[in-house]
Amino acid sequence: MAKVFPLEQAPSEIDLSYCGIDDTAIKAIIPELKAIKAITHLNLSNNVITDNGAKALAEVVLAEAAKTNPSIISLNLEDNKIGEEGKKALADAMENNITITGLLLNNQRVY
């Protein structure tokens, strides 16, 4: 994404909902997300992200966001496949992140 948008023109809201993003894809785009410092709202809803992808987001995006990207205030992960392990990783990362005020995790399709 940083390669698509020059950093000074990067959007503040990124909507990647309904893109079929899975754990492999989320891990591939995390470095790009970290590079864009202007992101305030990140929508990853209605994809196929599981516990592994949620853990990667928690470790890199949420845990480091307070240091590297304090502008992220909202993360939408509704309608994915995140189970209890992924939710716990996200919750643990949120403990150290005072910038994110909204984390949406409704309707996880875990069977």
Identify whether 109 is part of a domain: no
Identify whether 33 is part of a domain: yes
pLDDT of 16 reads 95
Tell me the residue range of the domain where 71 lies. 7-104
Identify whether 55 is part of a domain: yes
Total count of domains within the chain: 1
Identify whether 37 is part of a domain: yes
* CA 67 – CA 76 distance, rounded (Å): 20
Identify whether 38 is part of a domain: yes
Q: Which helix (H) or strand (E) holds 55?
A: helix 51-56
CATH of the domain at 12: 3.80.10.10
Query: Which segments in the chain show pLDDT lower than 70?
Result: 1-10, 63-70, 111
Identify whether 111 is part of a domain: no
Identify whether 1 is part of a domain: no
Give the tens place of pLDDT for each residue, 15-43. 999 999 999 999 999 888 877 778 889 99
For 76, the 3-state DSSP assignment is strand
